[in-house]
């Protein structure tokens, strides 16, 4: 009978079984994975997207704002973020009546700015005390060069003109109806739009010959429309109240932003855009 010459590694000093080798390899792999993670975990958590390590968590504010504030609030928001580097401001622009409906339905937001006091009054139970931050006036927006020679409100009654107005309930629509009714002018618009920017867009695209918009809207159109001035005695002055929302999860930051809208810095931005003093 031959002697057993096979080698049993378990009995030899300095050797390891397959299981032992697998345990060692696994431990080495885990260590290799954990080392770089440990090196990355030393900084503060980045909650704002652009805040660096060690910076304070970023506060995000959502502001519901009237459509006619679109351009100026983008400028104002950027200025506010520069002077308040821990805060990010996001705007949601729409007709004031739409914003009021959003607040009533509990949409998550921190502040509200409407284009009339009537809209703000409808959600008074949901807001802090409102403060008027700016005013505005209506103009007649017409195509570049005023091809139909519109000179006055009375011209809007010409049935050969395609006139577009803001819908009833929209502040610009309410102001427009007020000044037309005061002069006994009947206008048959080809459409009634959900916000003043939609009116401006239709005139700018040539889909309408004329429409009532705010002076600042016509100014922001970049030369795509001309503005026919309406005399002050025939015009209406729009007021823009701003208020915090009671449901805000950033009450202090929301109050700070609303207060800033009345600051010299914010007021200069509004004046430069054509808005009138509060």
Dump pLDDT digits (tens) for 191-220.
Answer: 999 999 999 999 999 999 999 999 999 999
For the stretch 48-104, pLDDT in tens is: 334 343 455 489 999 999 999 999 999 999 999 999 999 999 999 999 999 999 999
- pLDDT value of position 57: 44
Same domain? For 263 and 219 the reply is no
Same domain? For 121 and 247 the reply is yes
- pLDDT value of position 55: 55
- pLDDT value of position 188: 97
Closest CA to 262 of 278, 246, 251: 278
Residue 170 to residue 175: CA distance in whole angstroms: 9
What value does the mean pLDDT take over residues 156-179? Answer: 97
107 part of a folded domain: yes
For the stretch 224-264, pLDDT in tens is: 999 999 999 999 999 999 999 999 999 999 999 999 999 99
236: left (phi over 0), alpha (psi -120 to 50) or beta: beta
Same domain? For 128 and 257 the reply is yes
Residue 17 to residue 15: CA distance in whole angstroms: 7
Same domain? For 262 and 217 the reply is no
Burial 234-262 (b: 16+ CB within 10 A, else e): ebbebbbbbbbbeebebeebbbbbbebbe
Same domain? For 130 and 141 the reply is no
Same domain? For 143 and 205 the reply is yes
> Over pLDDT 90: what percentage of the chain?
78
Same domain? For 151 and 244 the reply is no
212 part of a folded domain: yes
32 part of a folded domain: no
Partnered with residue 191 across adjacent β-strands are 164
- pLDDT value of position 82: 96
Same domain? For 233 and 145 the reply is yes
93 part of a folded domain: yes
4 part of a folded domain: no
CATH assignment of the domain containing 227:
3.40.190.10
87 part of a folded domain: yes
Same domain? For 160 and 181 the reply is yes
For the stretch 15-52, pLDDT in tens is: 344 444 444 443 443 333 333 333 333 322 222 334 34
Same domain? For 130 and 140 the reply is no
53 part of a folded domain: no
Number of compact structural domains in the chain: 2
Reply yes or no on whether the pLDDT at 134 is more than 60: yes
Domain coverage including residue 160: 136-237
Same domain? For 225 and 175 the reply is yes
Same domain? For 131 and 245 the reply is yes
52 part of a folded domain: no
């Amino acid at each position: 009978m031959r002697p057993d010459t096979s080698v049993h590694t378990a009995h030899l000093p300095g050797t390891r079984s397959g299981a032992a080798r697998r345990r060692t390899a696994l431990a080495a792999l885990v260590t290799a994975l954990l080392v770089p993670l440990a090196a990355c975990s030393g900084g503060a958590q980045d909650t704002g997207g652009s805040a660096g390590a060690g910076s304070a968590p970023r506060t995000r504010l959502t502001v519901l704002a009237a459509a006619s504030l679109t351009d100026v609030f983008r400028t104002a928001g950027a200025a506010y973020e520069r002077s308040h580097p821990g805060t990010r401001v996001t705007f949601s622009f729409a007709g004031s009546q739409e914003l009021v409906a959003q607040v009533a339905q509990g949409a998550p937001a921190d502040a509200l700015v409407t284009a009339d006091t009537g809209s703000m009054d409808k959600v008074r139970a949901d807001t802090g005390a409102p403060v008027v931050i700016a005013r505005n006036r209506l103009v007649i927006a017409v195509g570049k060069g005023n091809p139909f020679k519109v000179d006055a409100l009375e011209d809007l009654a010409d049935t050969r003109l395609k006139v577009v107005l803001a819908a009833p309930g929209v502040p610009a629509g309410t102001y427009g109806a007020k000044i037309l009714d005061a002069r006994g002018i009947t206008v048959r618009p080809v459409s009634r739009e959900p916000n003043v920017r939609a009116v401006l867009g239709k005139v700018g695209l040539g889909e309408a010959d004329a429409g009532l918009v705010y002076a600042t809207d016509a100014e922001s159109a970049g030369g795509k429309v001309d503005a026919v001035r309406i005399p002050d005695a025939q015009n209406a002055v729009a007021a823009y109240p701003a208020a915090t929302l009671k449901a805000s999860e950033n009450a202090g930051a929301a109050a700070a932003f609303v207060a800033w809208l009345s600051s010299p810095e914010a007021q200069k931005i509004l004046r430069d855009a054509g808005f009138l003093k509060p």
